[in-house]
Structure 1
Amino acid sequence: MDWSSWFRRTLLKDANNPKISDPPKPSSTKKRHQAEEDLEQYGITQQLVDLVKTFTVDTFKNFHLQDDGVAGADSGTASATSACSVRKDLSEWQERHAYLVLTSVKEMSQLRYMLCPRHMKERQFWQIYFVLVKSHIADYEQRAIQLAKLKEMKMGVDKSSNGSSYEVEMAESKVASSSPPASP
């Protein structure tokens, strides 16, 4: 074995097996930090996780939704998948919250698997879920709605202010070019 091949193998081995004392890569740290921010932004706190872990099949089976014609609404649309009906029924915020809950709390994912579609439709499952956790997530959802409105207002203000500033500049340049030069 020559030294150069030994040296290359040693470097490759060290590169593939980083030491425990090596700091984590910035991209993985950023992703982890972003994931934590997402969880917090969508109201997935330890309190909510603890509450969700107490839910059972009976919690959902015995829960009575107020019948407002929602239960039979999609009985005629057999071709629609349950994922599509969920997207129609949930807001963007609720859909993202549901995704994060399912991916971060395995008990919730298992519960959904046991209940849908054998015992209830997916839409009913999520309606019951959001009623059960309403007191825990209401503030987070409200904050998200307010932020969306602020962004929308800011976008509207930016568009109107940019457009009017261009119009003012154009008008000023037309006036300056059409008026005769001032005599001293």
Structure 2
Amino acid sequence: MKKNNFRFVDHSEDPNVGLANEEIALLQKELNLQFPETYIFYLQNAGRRSNVFPVEHDIVKLKKYQEQLKEALNERNLLNAESLFCFQYNIEYEPLIGEDSETFYFFNLSEPKSPDLYVFGDFIINYDWRGYAKELTNKENFVDFINERTKKKFGPKLLKKIGNILLGILLAPFIVTVLIIVALQVLIEKIKDQ
């Protein structure tokens, strides 16, 4: 099992700021939930402010998110008997269709050991009709999810990748030439020694 292998990036202009253990314990107590171990580790390192994926730490908002998620799932008869913890809720105006779209990020705490990350939200289903439909997606691993977001934000940029490829192509003939010269020198030395 992968544990706590988050790829945190120290970015001086936008640093990660964690929560104290006492703050995390209070959140768990107020919500009457036990957070997953990996999520606690994430809160300790980036719970107050994350430069990749911010999570909510305001107890009033978190309580509201739990209610909103249950309502949205109950309307579609999904995960009714499960213990869920919604740690982020986003609502954004989508100009393409002229409507708001909402997205819930949550854990199914009924799962044993390390629960998977789920995303439940509005996804465009038809560009011609400009429609949305609610969809439940299992993203599987929270660590992988955060690391993928980190890679997208802080990973090498496309132009840098193209530059590295072009540099490799330009240097390849030079390297091949040097290898041929070295091989010839070795061959000449062997011939002289005979």
Band the TM-score falls in, shorter-chain normalisation? under 0.3
What TM-score, normalized by structure 1, do the two folds share?
0.28
Of structures 1 and 2, the larger Rg is shown by 1
Q: Structure 1 or 2: larger helix share? A: 1
- Which fold has the larger relative contact order, with Cα–Cα distance below 8 Å and residues 6 or more apart in sequence? 1
